[in-house]
Structure 1
Amino acid sequence: MTRQTHIPATTGDGVWTVVTHTSTYVLDFEQMTLLRAPGVGRAEDQRWEVSELRRDSEDIPLLGVKECRVGEPAQFWVTAADDPDVRTWRITTPVVEIERIG
């Protein structure tokens, strides 16, 4: 598997894992889905709390990636939980690691 420093906004293929201070995300660009596994991160610093978000641990429709770079919060464009016609941002804690796994 290949570690990366960022996911380009133009990425349109592959499966990626993004580890943040508090969670791990799986982005599947073939299926255009995003999955968040809360509490599965690299939080050595106790200042980071794990937030519970709607639709945690389930695939949600991924519309795109605005920003995803090690050391910065990632920004994922997804559909809202209760209305597929509404779009919203998922903004993470700072990214620790990015890896293309497929």
Structure 2
Amino acid sequence: MALVNEIPDGTDSGVFAVRTHTSTYLLDLGEGTLLRAPGVGRHDDEVWEVSELRRDSQDIPLLEVRSCKVGDPAQFWVSAADDPDVRTWRITTPVIEIEKID
């Protein structure tokens, strides 16, 4: 396990834990999944509120990591778990830490 500053463009393998001001995201690039754990790892910063999103705490299909860098909001392109034709962006609060797990 190692801390990294970003997930480089084109990365297509590996497992990453991405901690933001309000949640922790688990990305499995090899499997193409994204899981959001709202409130987990929350930063002690009262400015940010934890939002509830559809499919929180469930794996959803991850199509692309558009950007994921410490200090900036991450952008994930995902499809709906129940309808693969429905696609949307998940944009996070600023990233605090990225850990490469595998």
Bin the TM-score by the shorter chain.
over 0.9
- TM-score by structure 2 length? 0.95
For residue 2 of structure 1, report the CA deviation from its aligned partner: 1.1
Alignment match, 1:23: 23
**Kindly, what percent of the aligned residue pairs are identical?**
70
The question of whether the paired residues in 1 share the 8 Å contact of 2:79 and 2:85 is answered with yes
Q: CA RMSD in A?
A: 1.0
Superposition pairs for residues 1-102 of structure 1, below 5 Å?
1-80=1-80, 82-102=82-102
- Structure-1 separation of matches of 2:86 and 2:2: 34
Question: Please, which runs of 5 or more residues in structure 1 have no aligned partner?
Answer: none
The question of whether the paired residues in 2 share the 8 Å contact of 1:42 and 1:96 is answered with no
- Structure-1 separation of matches of 2:18 and 2:12: 16
- TM-score by structure 1 length? 0.95
For residue 69 of structure 1, report the CA deviation from its aligned partner: 0.4
Aligned length: 102
Question: Please, which runs of 5 or more residues in structure 2 have no aligned partner?
Answer: none
